[in-house]
Amino acid sequence: MPAAPDRQPGAAAAPGRLGIDIGGTKVALRAETGDGRIEESAFTWGVHQDADRDLADLAAHLEEFPGAADVRAVGVAVPATVGPDERITAWPSRPAWSGLALGPALRALFPGAAVAWADDGDLGALAEADAADCPHLLYVGVGTGVGGGLVLNGSLCPGPDRGSFEIGHLVIDQDGPECVCGRRGCLQATASGPATLAHAAALRGAPVTFDELRAGLRDRLPWAVAALDRTARALATAITGVGELVHPERVVLGGGFTAGIPDLLPRVTTHLTTHHRPGHPTPPLSPARLSGLSSLRGALLLARRL
């Protein structure tokens, strides 16, 4: 963590900025204080809590977090679907939040500060585009679900006021597995970490843990290789479709599952090469630079824009 610059005794720090990444199991915070310091913190949600208890836990953590002491702008990354009335319409990981008026709840936590929120995948894309200095970038994050975002001309597309870039719910197979959203064939239902493990278990004929999948890939076991190949093929299909429509200069692949399975990125790249057509090559694919920190860094970038 950078050292704080010297200040005159008694001088008050200028208001800072705060980024918050609200996840289904964990909340991460990154503050940029007025005197140039970076403060970070995180905590884990309780199990089976309601939204009021979760918000109380967040408020209590903010009380103890020095970086939240004096902020003028707050950016929040959320995986939930938020309607135009600022209410959460769906969040499968924490269903008790459905119906919560997110805007008023966040503003109550930070009276006097400007507050904005956006989808965690969108903000991950914003941070990755900033890190890569690339104004036209597609980000795909593979973890418990599949998220992502698109940056065109340096701005989020379609933009927080119009909704999030839901690549995880792009239908890639009309006869595919059922998704948590209720449809069939969404990318997330085939290519998420849990979906990959479920397919590996079906091929093996026994449950498969994340570590067992890694070991199976290391040993080139057929059930492990085939399960990962199915995931890679699905991701390449979705990336190719987006590429045909908006032509990003670069695609980055991130998320916790990607970070833990090094074989995934080269396999996606292999499948992408099969989708080339004359005059329309697929965009280059590279690993996310910020890994699991992309959404949190994006939330802080959103705060900087307020």
pLDDT tens per residue, range 24-67: 889 999 999 878 889 999 999 988 889 999 999 999 999 999 99
Mean pLDDT, to the nearest integer, of 11-27? 81
Query: CB within 8 A of 8, min separation 6: which ones?
Result: none
Structure tokens of 232? 């890679």
Q: CA dihedral defined by 190, 181, 93, 241, rounded to 10 degrees?
A: 50
CA pair distance 125, 167, nearest whole angstrom: 12
Query: What is the Cα gyration radius of the chain?
Result: 20
Residue of 299, 302, 303, 301 whose CA lies nearest to 29: 299
Q: Taking the model in full, what pTM does it have? A: 0.86
Strands 16-22 and 71-78: parallel
CA pair distance 122, 21, nearest whole angstrom: 12
Is residue 109 within 8 Å of 73, Cβ to Cβ? no
Instruction: Give the model confidence (pLDDT) of 225-244 as tens digits.
Output: 999 999 999 999 999 999 99
DSSP one-letter code for 181 = T
User: What's the confidence (pLDDT) of residue 180?
Assistant: 83
Does 268 score more than 90 pLDDT? Answer: yes
CA distances from 78 to 24, 27, 75, 106, 117 (A): 9, 10, 10, 12, 7
Structure tokens of 175? 């006869």
Q: How many C-beta atoms lie closer than 10 Å to residue 114's C-beta?
A: 15
Task: Provide the CA 185 distance to its chain's centre, in angstroms.
Answer: 21
